[in-house]
Amino acid sequence: MKRAVSATLEQAQRMSAPRAVALCRCFDGALEFQAGHWAAAEAALRESIRLHREIGAASGEALACQRLGVLLTAQGQLDEAKSILEEGLIAAERALLRAHCLTRIYAALARNRLAAGDLADADDALTQGLAMSERHGHCTTCDALLLPAAVSVRAARKDWAAAERYCAQLDEAAAQYASRTWVAMAKQSRGELAATQGELDEAIANFTEAKSAFALAGNHVESARCQTTIAALLNVMASP
């Protein structure tokens, strides 16, 4: 995938095709992020935002903002990430793919606010994201971002029934698409729900499966995050 994106980017640059260059920089940033190359990912995504703004491509700008917001949230730069995501919301409002862009940004914003400990704002962002998802008919790519966020927010609020419903939707999608990434997301969400309910053995088992599936899918950032969570859960189990 990385080679294909690089080859396409080189061709787009030779042909002086700014829209294609902007898209390639966005895809490149996403791939660098999954590989754990933080600086390269951030540089590519910021360049993508700049290029999309120059040509007035609101959909591309919104999606690049969403990916940069996710990256900055993962790095713990929560306020800057929130600001970038809010810029993405403004761009999404004038985008051709408005509902899709808004769904993804609200999912990222829910994660960001959850990381900041602001459950009320996280719940509000999730509610708006779910409404947008209903409006455009449950896009697979959007659901890949929205459903795990829904599990996280509902579990954090101890709304076990709602969290279980979203986990079930993830399980169904994982079975339908037979994708390592979907399997990984479903297991990760199952692990998160089990952990918040105090079922630590089940949580560790699910996070272990998720870690392996993410690694096989090439998403080393999420694989490492699962390993960190496993270590934290083991420490809890070892405590008096």
Q: Of 208, 153, 217, which Cα lies nearest the Cα of 180?
A: 217
Q: Annotate 49-77 with b (16+ C-beta within 10 A) or e (fewer).
A: bebbbeeebbbbbbbbbbbbbbbbbbeeb
Domains in the chain, CATH or no CATH each: 164-240 (1.25.40)
Is residue 51 predicted with pLDDT exceeding 70? yes
Say which residue the tokens 């949230």 belong to.
Answer: 73
Q: Which two tokens stand for residue 19?
A: 């829209």
| CA separation for the pair 37, 187 (Å, rounded) | 25
Q: What percent of the chain has pLDDT over 90?
A: 78
Contact 26, 67 (CB under 8 A): yes
- pTM given for the model: 0.91
pLDDT at 141: 80
Residue/partner pairs of 164-173 with CB below 8 Å, 24 or more apart: 164/193, 167/193, 169/143, 173/140, 173/143, 173/147
Lowest mean pLDDT among 7-11, 29-33, 117-121, 169-173: 7-11
Average pLDDT over residues 90-116: 94
